[in-house]
A = this chain, B = another copy of it.
Amino acid sequence: MEIPVIRDVLEESNARARENRAIFERHGVFVVNVMSSPGSGKTTLLQKTIPILKERAISCAVIEGDVSSTLDSERLAPLGIPVVQANTEPFGGDCHVGSHFVHAALKYLDLPSIEILFIENIGNLVCPAEFYLGEHRKVMMLSLTEGEDKPLKYPLMFRECQACLLSKMDLAPHLDANLDLLKSNIQKVNGAIHVLPISAKTGEGLMAWLDWLIAEMSNQP
């Protein structure tokens, strides 16, 4: 008697991610997986980034991951770009965007017309770091309000990402935050990560982020 063996879940996930990646390559889409804790500013970053990319005639789309609600998609809709909402709640409230969600979202997108596809992951500093979706770059955000110890307490996210945007820099005068210590803790965990302080409110760092993003798009994979 043959006993059926369920294939390794992570292997299943990675196989689907590789399929996604092949589709992206075929259509020349550069894909960025944006991750952070809840409320660090992922949607706000996209609200600030996409209009500048549009001005530079770079076409964008977003896959918006959330456990529940279409609130973030509604914030992005006025930008006039394609947005697909992927809600994990009907599937048990998954704590991360899975490669199968990305795959399912692709059929709603006209890929040949898209140059950059952002995947806004679910707000979670732990689980999303574990799953490859087929993206070219992983970018994380950390709000200055979250504390200098986060790289040491949640190291995988910092290890996996190529860039770390330090958001809400405008709050610095009102916090006891030690930016040097934070940067030093990030470097301890990942010496190669590109650290970019930003503020959506004042505009600090946004152009440096855009420059980095466009350079990476030119230098893929």
Q: Which A residues fall within an 8 A CB radius of B? A: 1, 3, 37-39, 66-69, 71-72, 93, 95, 122-127, 130, 143, 145-147, 149-150, 152-156, 168, 170-171, 174-175
CB neighbours (8 Å) of A154 from chain B are: 38, 67-68, 123
- For the complex with contacts A38-B150, A38-B154, 9 further pairs of A-B residues with Cβ separation under 8 Å are A3-B3, A37-B37, A68-B153, A69-B152, A71-B152, A72-B153, A93-B126, A123-B153, A171-B174
Knowing A39-B37, A145-B143, A149-B69 are in contact, say whether A93-B156 is a contact too (CB < 8 A): yes
A-B contact pairs, 5 of them (CB 8 A): A37-B37, A69-B153, A71-B149, A72-B149, A123-B154
B67 pairs with A155, CB closer than 8 A: yes
Q: How far is the CA of A184 from the CA of B117 in the complex (A)?
A: 34
Q: Which of B71, B126, B145 contacts A171 (CB 8 A)?
A: B145
B37 pairs with A67, CB closer than 8 A: no
B68 pairs with A150, CB closer than 8 A: no
